């Protein structure tokens, strides 16, 4: 193959990869900026059961549960499943129960032989719920408003029975927190953007709502009970579609949580999440894989072309355009979702996060993680 033809092929490949990246950012990831979702607010508020699973969360229960128990909503209950905790969780729940009759809790005792993941606790919470409309959160999540239940449940309608919410991370010092802030934003604009484009594929357990009959009609966690995580994203991936799913990301509907403070805890969490994503529908895995692949190959081929002076002006222009588009969309979405912006660190994080995912995916392949959720 002669050199001019090879250079032309490289140019075409880089241009195709650039076009793919442009499509993802301008069609999917920027959807939260300009797509107006339908209003599905019912005439009357529906009764809601808030479900939370807690394992050794005494501190978080004490700090976050009051914000849920005191929501401004006419009819709701709070169901907490205390999953084999060996701290003061049960005593704290008893104290809250004495003052809040709409709180219901039960405790799972440790079994020396049978080990279970979070999904058992979620299942027991769903069975204990007395209302059909369920709103899920985690013990380490706190609603940012006393209108949280109203904002999330207001999206239920005769057609919409899954509501995808969002959560923010508390801003703290350190590069690990900065990475998690960026990852949280990128995750949100991905699953919200796909849902707004009628391709919902996941939700987050810290802020997710659906109706009870949907769970039992689709046999709950059957098919992925053995996976350590996935009580949220794998279930949504199985049952969601463009007709039954909507999103809610208004400020009143958001919750906030604390990120991981140690790298090993962060990597462990990511391994669980990546393990669950391998069981997504083939369509969803393909779309997500193409995004990561096209981004990685674009940077590799474009930089290599610059080094070897293959259409250097064109390559430099494509690189600059890709970085500018990504930078602009990411930070406009951050403003829209009331989250930290990324100016000086955008390019570093844009390259670093996929590298972390690749490393952990390879590690998962050769050393699968266990079934315990904590």
Average pLDDT over residues 53-66: 96
Percent of the chain with pLDDT over 90: 76
| pLDDT of the residue at 268 | 85
* Residue among 332, 254, 361, 298 nearest 23 (CA): 298
Where in the chain is CATH 3.90.550.10?
38-261
* Residues 118-142 pLDDT 10s: 999 999 999 999 999 999 999 999 9
Which position has the higher pLDDT, 44 or 194? Answer: 194
| pLDDT 10s digits, 75-123 | 999 999 999 899 999 999 999 999 999 999 999 988 777 778 899 999 9
Q: pLDDT band at residue 353, thresholds of 50, 70 and 90?
A: confident
Q: Is 267 or 228 the better-scoring residue by pLDDT? A: 267
Enter the pTM of the model. Answer: 0.91
What pLDDT score was predicted for residue 38?
55
Above 80 in pLDDT, residue 280?
A: yes
Residue 47 binned pLDDT confidence (cut-offs 50, 70, 90):
very high
Task: Give the model's confidence band at 372: pLDDT under 50 very low, under 70 low, under 90 confident, else very high.
Answer: low
What would the pLDDT profile of 203-216 be if each residue is shown by its tens digit?
Answer: 999 999 999 999 99
Q: Please, which pLDDT band fits residue 371 given cuts at 50, 70 and 90? A: very low
Q: What is the pLDDT of residue 369?
A: 56
For residue range 135-193, list pLDDT tens digits in order: 999 999 999 999 999 999 999 999 999 999 999 999 999 999 999 999 999 999 999 99
pLDDT top residue among 43 and 221: 221
CATH 3.30.1490.440 fits 38-261, yes or no: no
- Per-residue pLDDT for 322 more than 90? yes
Mean pLDDT of 270-279: 80
């Amino acid at each position: 193959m002669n050199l001019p033809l090879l250079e032309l092929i490289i140019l075409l490949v880089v241009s195709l990869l650039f076009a793919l990246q442009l499509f993802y950012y301008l069609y999917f990831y920027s959807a939260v900026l300009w797509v107006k979702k339908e209003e599905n607010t019912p005439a009357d508020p529906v009764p809601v059961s808030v479900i939370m699973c807690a394992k050794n969360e005494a501190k978080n229960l004490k700090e976050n549960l009051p914000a849920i128990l005191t929501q401004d909503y006419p009819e709701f209950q709070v169901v907490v499943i205390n999953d084999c905790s060996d701290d003061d969780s049960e005593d704290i729940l008893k104290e809250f129960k004495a003052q809040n009759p709409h709180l219901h809790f039960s405790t799972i005792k440790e079994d020396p032989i049978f080990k279970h993941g979070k999904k058992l606790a979620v299942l027991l919470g769903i069975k204990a719920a007395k209302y059909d409309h369920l709103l899920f959160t985690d013990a380490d999540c706190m609603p940012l408003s006393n209108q949280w239940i109203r904002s999330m449940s207001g999206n239920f309608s005769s057609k919409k029975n899954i509501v995808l919410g969002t959560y923010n991370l508390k801003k703290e010092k350190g590069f690990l927190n900065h990475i998690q802030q960026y990852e949280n934003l990128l995750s949100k604009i991905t699953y919200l953007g796909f849902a707004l484009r009628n391709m919902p594929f996941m939700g987050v357990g810290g802020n997710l709502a659906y109706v009870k009959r949907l769970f039992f009609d689709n046999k709950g966690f059957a098919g992925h009970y053995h996976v350590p995580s996935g009580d949220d994203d794998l279930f949504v991936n199985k049952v969601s579609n463009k007709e039954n799913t909507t999103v809610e990301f208004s400020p009143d509907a958001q919750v906030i949580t604390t990120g991981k403070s140690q790298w090993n805890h962060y990597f462990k969490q990511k391994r669980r999440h990546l393990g669950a994503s391998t069981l997504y529908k083939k369509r969803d895995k393909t779309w997500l894989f193409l995004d990561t692949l096209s981004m990685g190959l674009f940077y590799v081929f474009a930089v290599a072309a610059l080094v070897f002076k293959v259409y250097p002006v064109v390559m430099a222009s494509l690189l600059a355009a890709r970085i500018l588009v990504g930078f602009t969309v990411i930070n406009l979405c951050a403003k829209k979702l009331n989250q930290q912006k990324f100016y000086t660190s955008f390019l570093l994080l844009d390259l670093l996060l996929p590298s972390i995912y690749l490393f952990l995916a390879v590690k998962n392949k050769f050393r699968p993680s266990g079934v315990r959720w904590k």
